[in-house]
Structures are given as structure tokens and as C-alpha cells.
Structure 1
Amino acid sequence: MNHSSTEPTETIEPLRYLSKVEVAAIETELLRDYRFGQQQLIEIWGHACAIAITKAFPLTSLGKKQPTVLVVCGPDQNGSIGLVCARHLRIFEYEPTIYYPKRTPHTIHQDFTVQCEKMDIPFLSYLPTEVQLINDAYNLVIDAILGPETDHTDVKEPYAGILVTLKQVKIPIASVDMPSGWDVDQATSDGINPEVLISLMAPKRCATSFTGKHYLAGRFLPYDIQKKYDLNLPEYPGTDCLIEL
């Protein structure tokens, strides 16, 4: 006889999906109150993104093809996370190539760029066309273009054109933190449609309508912040820095 109905059930609060304002507030607290450095956060996130890529697209799954990855980097923090992701993918024996059309003069971003150059990761001076991308030049595109910090109502060139191209490609796309072209706070989009999403800290509100493979990398967050914002983060397995939702 099943007595489970009489046993108290532990109520698990739903995972919190963050607004643009909340994302900025948490990041400010991490930098100001908890003394995380911006470079430190970008490194944590970029490394987690690379691990997520190895889980979603393991080297063995690419068969005899070369594990070529095109990492498209935007002008802000998301672009730097893409640079760190590319460097770790290189260490993990993938073959990343970076397209970083507008390099930021900020020292941190320059440091990440130099690190990639020292790892012999090639940088493209132009974005391949849809045809070039589809014809097996790359097995995967990583979208590190527009993050929560970017105004999605005013996407300027070259990024508007890049999004048009990436909407056409048939190879898988993995997006860093949120798919480029989506509104952070809305579950609707005319942006790109990735197969994989890697949410950082906690998922953004737009991810409620995402139907692909979804990873979360937020294990580093201090418990006080998790509690203050009712993040209700899941239990991460073992020593993993990310979890599939």
C-alpha cells in the first residue's frame, strides 16, 4: 500500500528568472560589496561556458570532423566572456576562431584578447557568409554578442547584420547568457534561435520561452545573495560548476 500521500512533501520553490534591473543589481553587489573583480567574474563565466559547450557538443559527437567553433564576440562584457570561452575551448582541444569586429579599448578586454592571440586562436576580419558557415567551415557558432547589459531596441551595425546572418545558418548556435536580439525582460523574440543557452548567475526572464538545451552556471554566487534575491538555485551535482536545467 502506498502511504506517500500522507507524508509531508518538501515544497521546492521555483527557480528565479531575473529582470534586467536585478541582473545589474546583483553584479554591482558582487563587485562592490563582495569584492569580486570584473576580470574574475568574466573568467568564471567564460570557463563555465566552455564546460557547457563540451557537455552539449562533446568532441566525440563531432565524429571525424574537426571540432571547429566560430565565437562571435560583441562589444561589451558578453564579448569578453566569449573570448575566455574560446581560450578554454582551445585548451580542451577544440579549434575556436574568433570574430570580434569592435574591440573595446578597456584594459580587461584587451588582456583577454591578447591571451587568445597567445594561444594561437585565429581572429577573422569579417564574418563568413551564411553559405560559408553552412558549408562545414564550422561545426558550431557561439553567440557572445549581446548580453543583458546591451540595449536590444537599438542594435547597430555590424551587429544587426551579424544577427541577420546567424538567423539563416543551419549549424547549431550556443548563446552566452541570453540569445542575442532577445529582450531581457520579455519571453518573446525576433532574435536568433540557438540550440543551447548558457545562463550565467541565474536565468534571465526571456529564457522562460527558451525550448532548447539550457545550462545554468551560478554556483559561485555567495549564499547571502542567493537568499536576498530568492534565486532558488538547483543542487549542482558533485563539484560541477554548471547544471542542465
Structure 2
Amino acid sequence: MALRTLSAKSAAALDKELMSSGAFSIDQLMELAGLSVSQAVFKLQPLNQGKRILVACGPGNNGGDGLVAARHLYHYGYQPTMYYPKQSKSELYQRLTKQLKDLDIPFTEDFDSALKQADHIVDAIFGFSFSGEVREPFPKVIEALRDTKIPVLAVDAPSSWNIEDGPPDSGPGKGFQPQALISLTTPKPLVKWFKGRHFIGGRFLSPAMAEKYGLDVPPYHGLDQLVEIGVEGQKL
């Protein structure tokens, strides 16, 4: 059975409900999302195959997931480097950033140089709420992600993709097809255009919430915060 997808409008409504009647804080949801992203990196990029992880973060919640993932990756034994050019001034993001700086995790504004030294990349720039044009300084970054031979893990959506319509027909994201994608909570409609390894992460939905939104909760195993599924939605 293929897992059902969730539209951008429904995904936003679900997040809002999780933080109201679901009694989750945004900190909790971001922590769980970032933890699942870090576990995906651990599966895709074993430590003995390269520890240098470049984490590209945007200014919103997707970027916050990347910040959390980087902290976990550091504690696993990786060497993350942060590209976070549009840092949010909100208290939550300031705290997440300080946590990384307290670990002496480097921040860079030179994406091209950092890319040359990376073994794996986390694309946490834009998530399911992205729409419109890609603004500076991200067009060249997304072009670099598209053209690099270094494996890329996209968080919830390959950056610049439309949540409903998939990859753009023009612009910096045209032709961008990362090697892996982790859909948070549930797949979004864009997965029908995705061709790489696909994970589901975010192990926090109650049965009642999943039923209300018509979602399939995959069978997570043991301590895992993610499940790998096939490109057609089949669990592997």
C-alpha cells in the first residue's frame, strides 16, 4: 500500500493542531524532526565513509530542523559545518545556534568552499511552505546542490520544489534531484517526482490525529525515528 500524501494546506493545519490540541511545543516538534534527519544521515553516510557534513539552513522551520540535526550529528561523531546566511532573530533559533557554537561547530558564508570539503550535504533550506521565487543568496546554492556529485539529503522537500507540483520548470532548481529525501510526518505530493531514497521521519503522531488527517503511520522499529520506503511509497 502506498502511503498517502498531505497537501501544503493540510500539513500547515496539522502542525497548528499538533501545537494546540496535540499539546506539543514547536521546540519539541523541531527536536524530533531534527533527530530523524540526523538518523537519516547516519544511515546514508556511515562514519567510516566520511564525517564531514555540510548543513545548509534556510531562515524558517526547515532551517531549524537542520540546526537540530547538526547538534545530534556532532554527538554521533560527525564534523558538521553550518551554512546559515539568513539567521532568524527569534529566541528559538538563537538558542539552537548558540548550542552549535558552544560545540565549536563552524559557521561559514562561503558555500562553495565548504562544499568542496564535504562528504555529505543536508539541504534544510526550504520546506513544505516554500512558494514563489528563490531569493538571494540561495539561487547559486541550489544550483550548486543540483550540480554537485556529493550526495544530498533533502529535508521534507528538495529546496525550490513546489510541494504540490514538484520540481520547477525553470530557475536554479530545475533538474535538482537529490539522492535522498526525508519526508517529515508524512509524504507530500511532490514525492511522485522524486527518484532517490525516501525516508519518513517524525515519530510523534497519535492514532487519533493520523486518522483525522487520513495518514498512514509507518511501522517504526525499535529506537528508529525513521522508516525507509520506496519511491512508490512502499516500505523497504
TM-score normalised by length of structure 1: 0.87
Deviation of residue 186 (structure 1)? 1.3
5+ unaligned residues in a row in structure 1: which ranges? Answer: 1-11
Q: In structure 1, what is the equivalent of residue 128 of structure 2?
A: 148
Q: Does 1:29 align with 2:17?
A: yes
Q: In structure 2, what is the equivalent of residue 158 of structure 1?
A: 137
- Could you tell me how far apart the structure 2 residues matched to 1:187 and 1:145 are? 16
CA change 1:235–1:115 in 2 (3 A) is same
Deviation of residue 35 (structure 1)? 1.5
Corresponding residue SS for 1:143: strand
- Listed as ranges, the matches of 1:184-199 within 5 Å are 184-189=163-168, 191=173, 192-199=176-183
Give the CA RMSD over aligned residues.
1.4
**Partner amino acid for 2:129?**
E
Among residues 47, 50, 56, which one is paired with 2:44 in the alignment?
56
- Could you tell me how far apart the structure 2 residues matched to 1:96 and 1:239 are? 23
> Is the contact made by 1:236 and 1:242 (CA closer than 8 Å) also made in structure 2?
yes
- Listed as ranges, the matches of 1:5-16 within 5 Å are 12=1, 14-16=2-4
- Could you tell me how far apart the structure 2 residues matched to 1:218 and 1:41 are? 8
Deviation of residue 181 (structure 1)? 0.9
Percent identity between matched residues is 39
Deviation of residue 31 (structure 1)? 0.7
Corresponding residue SS for 1:97: strand
> Is the contact made by 2:37 and 2:155 (CA closer than 8 Å) also made in structure 1?
yes
Among residues 66, 71, 86, which one is paired with 1:82 in the alignment?
66
The CA deviation string for residues 81-129 of structure 1, in whole angstroms up to 9 with x for no partner, is 1010011000000110001001111110111000010111000022125
Deviation of residue 179 (structure 1)? 0.5
**Partner amino acid for 2:22?**
Y
Q: Does 1:173 align with 2:147?
A: no
Q: In structure 1, what is the equivalent of residue 188 of structure 2?
A: 204
Among residues 211, 228, 232, which one is paired with 1:244 in the alignment?
228
> Is the contact made by 2:54 and 2:115 (CA closer than 8 Å) also made in structure 1?
no
Among residues 96, 99, 115, which one is paired with 1:133 in the alignment?
115
Among residues 88, 108, 113, which one is paired with 2:92 in the alignment?
108
- Could you tell me how far apart the structure 1 residues matched to 2:30 and 2:104 are? 21
- Could you tell me how far apart the structure 2 residues matched to 1:230 and 1:110 are? 35
Larger Rg: 1
**Partner amino acid for 1:39?**
D
Worse-matched range after superposition: 163-172 or 231-240: 231-240
Q: Does 1:183 align with 2:162?
A: yes
Worse-matched range after superposition: 176-185 or 210-219: 210-219
- Could you tell me how far apart the structure 2 residues matched to 1:102 and 1:239 are? 34
- Could you tell me how far apart the structure 2 residues matched to 1:239 and 1:77 are? 24
Deviation of residue 194 (structure 1)? 0.8
- Listed as ranges, the matches of 1:219-238 within 5 Å are 219-238=203-222
> Is the contact made by 1:71 and 1:144 (CA closer than 8 Å) also made in structure 2?
yes
- Could you tell me how far apart the structure 2 residues matched to 1:238 and 1:156 are? 41
Aligned residues: 224
Worse-matched range after superposition: 20-29 or 163-172: 163-172
**Partner amino acid for 2:27?**
Q
